[in-house]
């Protein structure tokens, strides 16, 4: 076993215990949670280590890196996730990789995703990014506008609405923000029963996200360590 695999394995064992404890604390089953390993700036060799540890969901923040990594051959099938903000001129490249799109937040992007899905002849799984703070640079739609965007996604072939995604505010207690996200999810599911995903919780706040209904956790630094210095 390589030193790097051992390192990631030890980190994962510690995080896995915390995930299980957080789920148990709120009466949830740890088996109902999915963990997305965010490999931004980490090499494909780390993805192979993650596969050996049981991971099958890998997330990236940039389309160029997503393309580069999806072009590699891996020992097991991977479900890829595009997590970062998506520009319309990069949509075709993102859809070509088959990734789940977590950051849909405007009608123009919905239309672009639908066109790209039609061009590539594939279903595109989509989550609506909900903005939980006042910083528009972080992306996301106001919670009050989720329903309208959801209706547009559902009406747009070949898009498949999966649920909501959000990032907690950079400062302060994440609990109130995740509570708002959970409420937005409940309203969404009332009209779109299959849109049950809540993609929330990163290395610093995943336990709070679990408390407020997160189904998909996005773990990067806590799992893989400090990001490589790319100069």
Domain limits of the chain?
3-223
Model pLDDT, residue 229: 59
DSSP strand pairing (79-82 vs 100-104): parallel
In this structure, which topology does domain 3-223 adopt according to CATH? TIM Barrel (3.20.20)
Pairwise CA distance, residues 65 & 44, whole Å: 10
Name the token pair of 161: 């609405």
Model pLDDT, residue 156: 97
Cβ-proximal residues to 137 (8 Å cutoff; 6+ apart), any chain: none
Q: What pLDDT tens digit does each residue of the chain (231 aa) get?
A: 699 999 999 999 999 999 999 999 999 999 999 999 999 999 999 999 999 999 999 999 999 999 999 999 999 999 999 999 999 999 999 999 999 999 999 999 999 999 999 999 999 999 999 999 988 888 999 999 999 999 999 999 999 999 999 999 999 999 999 999 999 999 999 999 999 999 999 999 999 999 999 999 999 999 999 877 554
Facing residues of 197 across strands? 163
């Amino acid at each position: 076993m390589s030193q790097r695999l051992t390192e990631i394995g030890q980190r994962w064992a510690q995080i896995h215990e915390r995930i299980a404890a957080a789920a148990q604390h709120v009466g949830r089953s740890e088996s109902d949670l999915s963990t997305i390993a965010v490999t931004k700036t980490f090499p494909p060799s780390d993805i192979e280590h993650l596969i050996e540890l049981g991971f099958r969901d890998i997330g990236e923040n940039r389309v160029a890196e997503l393309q580069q990594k999806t072009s590699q051959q891996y020992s097991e099938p991977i479900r890829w996730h595009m997590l970062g903000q998506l520009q319309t001129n990069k949509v075709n490249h993102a859809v070509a990789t088959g990734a789940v799109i977590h950051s849909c937040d405007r009608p123009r992007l919905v239309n672009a995703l639908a066109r790209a899905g039609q061009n590539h002849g594939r279903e595109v799984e989509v989550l609506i990014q909900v903005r939980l703070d006042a910083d528009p640079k972080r992306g996301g739609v106001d919670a009050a506008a989720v329903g309208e965007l959801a209706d547009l996604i559902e009406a747009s072939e070949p898009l498949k609405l999966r649920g909501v995604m959000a990032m907690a505010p950079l400062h302060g207690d994440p609990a109130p923000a995740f509570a708002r996200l959970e409420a937005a999810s409940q309203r969404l599911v009332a009209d779109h029963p299959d849109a049950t995903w809540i993609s929330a919780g990163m290395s610093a706040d995943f336990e709070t996200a679990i408390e407020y209904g997160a189904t998909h956790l996005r773990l990067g630094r806590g799992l893989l360590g400090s990001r490589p210095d790319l100069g």
